Amino acid sequence: MTAAIVLSAGFGTRLAPLTDELAKPLMPVGDRPVLAHIAAALGRGGAGRIVANVHHRALDFKQRINGFDIKIHLLHEPTILGTAGGVANAASALGDGAVVIWNGDILAPELDVAALIAEHDRGRAEALWVVEPGPPGTGTVGLDEEGYVVRLRGERFGAEASGGDFLGIQVMSPDLRRTLPAQGCLVADVVLPLLRRGGRVAAFLYRGMWDDIGQPGSLLRANLRWLECHRLGAWSAASATVDAGAMLERSVVGEGAVVAGLGAVRECVVFPGARLTAPARRMLVAAHATLAVA
């Protein structure tokens, strides 16, 4: 069975000061952390072993993953190795064969991971990238008529027929894994050199919903989307406390959190163990930090 790694070692600076007290892949979306959503998608797709490399606030992961439905094996990086180095460092934990690589700040709940793996197994390319398609010239990548990447980071490798956005999810072949540097970036140090020497990266087209939770606005949007998908006006954990005078509207309140005061709480995310006083609007509230979202 294909193993998977969730890249989780980054500092999450765009979400500071929230990430000063909680690692980015553990940010709440609905009733669970982002990492738990990713693990569930990988589990549904048949990933045989799920690894997460950790560095920033590594103890957060040890404390929180015990409650996940799916087992995740943590691999601590004492020194940040980059995306390529993180995968290379996890070689023994991942075993031989192709591997699914998933950025720890990406949610794509409708992605068919089993179909993604099956498509890669057909051997079209050294890597298979999940891409949301778009018009030619748009997005982070360009594709030719056969669905191969021909534009990346300003470089071109063929005639572009369509554009698209790379989601930060891919399947990588064993051969390409063997070229990974001990430290470096998957795009700059692995994929661009591959394309320059005539290698191929294919696209797996994905038209479902997805979110990059790496910025405050997108983290809030992911929570609002979760409520919509579950047809909920608001959600609070069973262990949360919400004062009778506080009215939740399109808001999420985590385990052990408290919403006090009087008035509407609109489009807010109250992290587990945090406290918010109503009224409030478009706030991300952790135990010791609060961010207002424009």
Q: How far apart are CA 130 and CA 245, in angstroms?
A: 45
Q: Which pLDDT score, from 0 to 100, does residue 143 have?
A: 98
What pLDDT, on a 0 to 100 scale, did the predictor assign at position 45?
Answer: 95
Other beta carbons within 10 angstroms of residue 260's beta carbon come to 13
208 Cβ neighbours under 8 A, 6+ residues apart: 108, 109, 110, 111
Reported confidence tier of residue 83, pLDDT bands at 50, 70, 90: very high
* Residues above pLDDT 90, as percent of the chain: 97
The pLDDT score that the predictor gives to residue 69 is 86
* Mean pLDDT, all residues of the chain: 97
Helix (H, G, I), strand (E, B) or coil at 206: coil
Tokens of 197: 């020497």
Cα 222 from Cα 211, distance rounded (Å): 6
pLDDT above 90 (res 26): yes
pLDDT at 283: 98
Q: Categorize the per-residue pLDDT at 32 as very low, low, confident or very high, splitting at 50, 70 and 90.
A: very high
Q: How open is the CA angle 243-233-24, to the nearest 5 degrees?
A: 85
Lowest mean pLDDT segment, chosen from 46-55, 61-70, 122-131, 137-146: 61-70
Q: Look at residues 189, 2, 178 and name the one whose alpha carbon lies nearest to residue 82.
A: 189
168, pLDDT greater than 90: yes
Q: pLDDT at residue 15 above 90?
A: yes
Prediction pTM value: 0.96
The average pLDDT across 218-238 equals: 98
Residue 67: pLDDT band with limits 50, 70, 90: confident
- Per-residue pLDDT at 66 exceeds 90: no
